[in-house]
Every structure is written in structure tokens, then in C-alpha cells.
């Protein structure tokens, strides 16, 4: 966001901005006492001049002392009750935290801290750098954007208002921000949205109506029920199996999850995922029209499974076919998440960069159609099953996985391998193999920028200023360790 407050942590105390303890108005979300705010942490180089504005007055300081930054040109207009100031952050800074004391409210309202180069006319928008980067993709999956794995929304009034100050946990990015982004992209980029696990019919209908009203009509919409209902790491997986069991054992099986007298409760869960996907598909039809929902239509429902376990999707598809009719009546396609790992080296310490590349290549080869088109190869099974039912195959996620086995092992070698030109070659070979199957786009995990750590090297970039679609040379500071020219292009 142009306004860093949108992506800041919860209001904290002036002395410990990260502690999240400041009180705030439950209606407006603005702090009602002296407070602190964490705008950015673990960044590459936040050096620059930021414009601060607010309604009310306060003493403002950059947390961390004079070396962390300073406030300049602070003014207060008593007639309009508005404060403005410049927040000057030195080159090389990796975080920005502010403290507000002697607040006149108490507290302040309508606070904004704009990134360098932007004025108040842009404070509700996304940065040009982000929009340029996102314009390179044909589909954007907003699963994390709407915090799907932790999203407890049930009713429409549970959603985050566009006017809430911060879009960070326990809140999420508002649904309205998705068309805000998609409509501004320089390419005709389709969107992929994930309906929260507990969403009511009314909630789904509101999402559908919002997309119909606000999204550019040339943009297609992929819709998925929650995320990875098979993955027991996530609360929605446990809830789904529990709901399936309750439906079969206590409610007379209204969804016919045990239509074949199966007693496998995991199968019931896989089938319930398919049933909920059909429910969402049917609800979108009431808004967009039946003629606009389905295979290669504007709204494209997706049933997602697990790449290494075809049973999840075969159970779901067979269930739909037996109980409701051809799956293509309700679905556009299926989706899996192929990740290649370090294979035989994934638990090794003291690896060299060459060994990391070798391991990734060994694993990547198993996803190619030359090795993966057989009854025993899960990618091939998904291909055949989707073809049988006339459905497309997408990758809801995918890419290199340097965490599996031992994320912290040989971390230096993993960092070097991720930056190695051979990694680009591996990724290209991986994607070329994916498309040789005849599959549809794979959503790379993750499209943005982040550091390479023991928790993964998922992101395409380590600094958004590595973007090559627009001239970013003016954004570099002499202290930027990653973003030095010549700029490395994204992996893809």
C-alpha cells in the first residue's frame, strides 16, 4: 500500500510499538490513547522521506533514537485539526516504528504515512511498483491476501471494512481491494479468490455481487473453497472432517457423503470439500447467471487437492459425478500444488551450492511428463482423471521448496542456489514440463519479495526494486545490499 498504516501491526504503546496494547475505537479502529506503530520490519532498505498526516495533534518521534530516523517540518493546523510532518529514515534502515505521545484526542484519527514519492491523492492506492510487478502475471491468487487459513469470517458483516485503518491480523485485506488491484493492472490478469471456510450463503452471494459490480468485466474469476482442506496443519481441515462426520453420523447424511456406504471418514471430508465447492458454484450462478459459470466461462470454480495424493480429488470428482451429475456442470477444473524439493539432500547439513542445485533438479525431474505419466505418478493420475471428466488442471501453488526435511540445514548454500542462474533454468524446465502435460497456468508461490530464510525461498524477488518492467534505478540507495545494479531479473 502507498499508506503504510494499512499494512502496519496493531496499535502498540509508545514505549513498545510492537506490543499491540493500545486501546482503539471499536467502531472506527483509530487509537484512543497515546500509542506506537510498527510500519515495517525486516526490510532491505527503508531509507527515504515519508509524509505523515493525521487528524489531531501529538508529539511524534521515530522509535529507536536519532539513528533510526527523525521528524521534520511538523505542523499543526488548529482550524482543521490536522497534523503533518516528514518522517526521514536513513539509508540502510530495516524498520520503521513511530511513537505518538501527548495526543490531543486522546489518540488520533485518519493517520497516514505515505511511501516516498506519493502525495495524499494516492493514499488509498497500491504502489506503482507493486502494480507493475503484478501486471506480469496471467492469474493472481489472493489466498493469503484475504488470510484464508486464519479467516474466521462467517457473516458478511464480519468482513473488514475498506475504511478500517489497518488490514493486518486479526483483520484482513477487504474484498474491495481485489478489484482495486486487478482493475489497475497493465495486462488482463485474471483473479483467483478463496471463500473462507465458514462463509454463509449470504456471504458468498455478497462476494459474488461485489465482483460483478466492481471488477472489470473482461477479468475472469477463479473461485476455490478455503485452502487445502486436506492439510491437517490448518484448522479448516479438522473442521471439515468433523463437519463431514457430523453430517453422516448425526444428520442423516443429507449431502450423501457416504453414498457408496464408505465408512472412511477422510473420504467423507474429501467429498464434503467437493460439495461445498458445488455450493459456491451454484451461488455464483445466481449472481452471474448459469451461462457465465463453469468451464472456460467468466466464473471458474476450482476443486483443489494434493499433488502427491490423487485420492483426494478422485474421491471428490467421483462423488460429484455419482450424486449430482458431471463435474463439469459445476467446475471449471481441478488444481494441485507441485513443489520440487532437495530430494536426497533435504535433511543434509554442509551442502554445497552445487549439491542444492543437484537435489532440486533431481526432484524437479519427477514432475516432468517424461517421468510422471503413469498410474503410479500422481501428476499423471490427475491429468488422466481431469481429462476423463473434461476439466482443466491448474497449479494453485508450486515452485522450489527448500524447507522440506530441514529448512535450517545448509541455509547458506540454499541462499546461494536461489540466487544462482541455474535456479532460473530449473524453474523454466519445471514450468515447461507442466505445460507439456497440457495443463493451465501454475500460480507461483510467492510472487512478491522476501528474504531467503530457514522458512523458505518462496518469493520471486528479495527486493521489489528488482522489478524490471519499469525503471526503478531512482529507488536505489547506496546502502541497499540486494538491490544494487545491475538488477537481477525475477526468476520467471
At 90, is the pLDDT very low, low, confident or very high (cuts 50, 70, 90)?
Answer: very high
- Please give the DSSP secondary-structure letter assigned to residue 472: -
What span, in angstroms and rounded, lies between the C-alpha atoms of 492 and 235? Answer: 33
At 470, is the pLDDT very low, low, confident or very high (cuts 50, 70, 90)?
Answer: confident
Look at residue 475 in the predicted model and tell me its pLDDT.
81
Look at residue 335 in the predicted model and tell me its pLDDT.
99
Mind listing the pLDDT tens digit for each residue in 205-249? 999 999 999 999 999 999 999 999 999 999 999 999 999 999 999
What would the mean pLDDT of 430-459 be, rounded to a whole number?
A: 94
Specify the pTM: 0.95
pLDDT greater than 60 at residue 47: yes
pLDDT greater than 70 at residue 488: no
At 375, is the pLDDT very low, low, confident or very high (cuts 50, 70, 90)?
Answer: low
pLDDT greater than 60 at residue 61: yes
Residue 487, judged by CB atoms within 10 A of its CB (0-12, 13-18, 19+), counts as middle
Going by C-beta distance under 8 Å and a sequence separation of 6 or more, which residues neighbour residue 27? Answer: none
Question: Comparing C-alpha atoms, which of 220, 326, 208 is closest to residue 278?
Answer: 326
What span, in angstroms and rounded, lies between the C-alpha atoms of 235 and 407? Answer: 23
What span, in angstroms and rounded, lies between the C-alpha atoms of 424 and 176? Answer: 35
Mind listing the pLDDT tens digit for each residue in 262-273? 999 999 999 999
Look at residue 355 in the predicted model and tell me its pLDDT.
98
What span, in angstroms and rounded, lies between the C-alpha atoms of 280 and 204? Answer: 7
More confident site: 285 or 475: 285
At 414, is the pLDDT very low, low, confident or very high (cuts 50, 70, 90)?
Answer: very high
Look at residue 492 in the predicted model and tell me its pLDDT.
47
- Please give the DSSP secondary-structure letter assigned to residue 461: B
What would the mean pLDDT of 363-387 be, rounded to a whole number?
A: 87
Mind listing the pLDDT tens digit for each residue in 98-139? 999 999 999 999 999 999 999 999 999 999 999 999 999 999
What would the mean pLDDT of 35-44 be, rounded to a whole number?
A: 95
What would the mean pLDDT of 183-187 be, rounded to a whole number?
A: 94
What span, in angstroms and rounded, lies between the C-alpha atoms of 235 and 233? Answer: 7
Bridge partner residues of 226 (DSSP):
none
At 483, is the pLDDT very low, low, confident or very high (cuts 50, 70, 90)?
Answer: low
What would the mean pLDDT of 34-43 be, rounded to a whole number?
A: 96
What span, in angstroms and rounded, lies between the C-alpha atoms of 215 and 201? Answer: 21
Look at residue 489 in the predicted model and tell me its pLDDT.
54
Look at residue 137 in the predicted model and tell me its pLDDT.
95
Domains of the chain, first to last: 4-122 (2.60.40), 128-475 (3.20.20)
Helix H or strand E encompassing 86: strand 82-89
Specify the 3-state DSSP secondary structure of 373. coil
What would the mean pLDDT of 52-77 be, rounded to a whole number?
A: 98
Look at residue 395 in the predicted model and tell me its pLDDT.
98
Q: What percent of the chain has pLDDT over 90?
A: 89
Mind listing the pLDDT tens digit for each residue in 129-179? 999 999 999 999 999 999 999 999 999 999 999 999 999 999 999 999 999
How do 70-77 and 82-89 pair as beta strands?
Answer: antiparallel
**Cα-based distances in Å from 414 to 10, 212, 429:** 33, 44, 19
What span, in angstroms and rounded, lies between the C-alpha atoms of 66 and 70? Answer: 6
Nine cell digits for residue 24: 482503539
What span, in angstroms and rounded, lies between the C-alpha atoms of 156 and 15? Answer: 37
Look at residue 374 in the predicted model and tell me its pLDDT.
65
Beta strands in 293-450 (DSSP E): 299-304, 333-336, 339-340, 392-395, 399-400
The alpha helices in 83-222, defined as continuous H runs, are 128-134, 177-182, 201-214
At 396, is the pLDDT very low, low, confident or very high (cuts 50, 70, 90)?
Answer: very high
Amino acid at each position: 500500500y502507498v499508506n503504510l498504516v494499512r499494512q502496519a501491526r496493531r496499535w502498540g504503546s509508545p514505549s513498545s510499538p510492537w506490543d499491540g496494547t493500545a486501546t482503539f475505537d471499536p467502531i472506527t479502529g483509530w487509537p484512543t490513547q497515546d500509542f506506537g506503530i510498527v510500519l515495517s520490519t525486516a526490510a532491505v532498505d527503508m531509507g527515504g522521506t515519508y509524509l505523515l498526516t493525521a487528524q489531531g495533534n501529538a508529539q511524534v518521534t521515530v522509535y529507536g533514537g536519532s539513528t533510526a530516523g527523525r521528524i521534520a517540518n511538523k505542523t499543526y493546523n488548529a482550524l482543521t485539526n490536522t497534523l503533518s510532518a516528514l518522517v526521514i529514515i536513513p539509508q540502510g534502515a530495516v524498520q520503521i516504528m513511530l511513537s505518538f505521545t501527548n495526543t490531543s484526542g486522546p489518540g488520533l484519527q485518519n493517520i497516514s504515512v505515505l511511501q516516498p514519492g506519493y502525495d495524499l491523492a494516492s493514499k488509498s492506492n497500491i504502489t506503482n511498483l507493486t502494480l507493475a510487478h503484478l501486471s506480469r502475471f496471467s492469474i493472481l491468487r489472493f489466498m493469503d491476501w484475504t488470510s484464508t487459513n486464519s479467516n474466521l469470517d462467517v457473516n458478511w458483516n464480519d468482513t473488514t471494512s475498506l475504511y478500517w485503518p489497518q488490514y493486518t491480523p486479526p483483520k484482513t485485506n477487504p474484498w474491495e481491494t481485489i478489484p482495486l488491484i486487478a482493475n489497475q493492472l497493465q495486462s488482463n490478469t485474471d483473479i483467483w479468490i478463496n471463500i473462507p471456510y465458514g462463509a454463509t450463503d449470504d456471504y458468498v452471494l455478497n462476494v459474488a455481487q461485489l465482483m460483478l459490480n466492481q471488477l472489470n468485466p473482461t477479468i475472469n474469476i477463479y473461485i476455490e473453497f478455503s485452502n487445502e482442506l486436506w492439510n491437517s496443519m490448518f484448522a479448516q481441515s479438522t473442521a471439515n472432517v468433523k463437519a463431514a462426520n457430523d453430517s453422516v453420523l448425526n444428520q442423516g447424511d443429507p449431502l450423501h457423503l457416504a453414498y457408496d456406504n464408505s465408512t472412511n471418514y477422510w473420504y467423507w471430508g474429501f467429498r464434503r470439500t467437493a460439495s461445498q465447492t458445488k455450493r459456491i458454484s451454484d451461488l455464483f450462478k445466481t449472481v452471474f447467471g448459469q451461462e457465465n459459470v463453469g468451464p472456460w466461462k467468466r466464473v471458474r470454480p476450482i476443486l483443489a487437492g494434493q499433488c502427491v495424493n490423487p485420492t483426494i480429488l478422485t474421491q471428490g470428482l467421483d462423488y460429484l459425478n455419482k450424486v449430482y451429475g458431471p463435474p463439469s456442470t459445476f467446475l471449471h477444473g481441478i488444481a494441485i500444488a507441485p513443489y520440487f524439493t532437495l530430494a536426497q539432500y533435504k535433511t543434509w547439513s554442509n551442502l554445497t551450492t552445487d549439491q542444492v542445485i543437484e537435489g532440486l533438479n533431481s526432484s524437479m525431474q519427477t514432475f516432468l511428463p517424461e517421468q510422471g505419466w503413469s498410474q503410479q505418478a500422481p501428476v499423471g493420475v490427475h491429468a488422466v482423471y481431469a481429462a476423463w471428466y473434461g476439466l482443466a488442471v491448474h497449479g494453485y501453488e508450486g515452485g522450489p521448496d527448500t524447507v522440506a526435511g530441514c529448512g535450517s540445514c545448509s541455509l547458506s548454500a540454499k541462499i546461494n542456489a536461489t540466487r544462482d542462474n541455474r535456479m532460473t533454468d530449473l524453474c523454466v524446465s519445471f514450468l515447461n514440463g507442466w505445460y507439456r502435460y497440457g495443463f493451465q497456468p501454475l500460480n507461483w508461490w510467492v510472487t512478491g519479495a522476501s528474504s531467503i530464510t530457514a522458512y523458505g525461498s518462496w518469493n520471486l524477488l528479495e527486493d521489489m526494486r528488482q522489478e524490471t518492467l519499469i525503471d526503478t534505478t531512482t529507488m536505489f540507495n547506496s546502502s541497499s545490499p540486494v538491490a544494487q545494479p545491475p538488477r537481477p531479473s525475477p526468476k520467471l
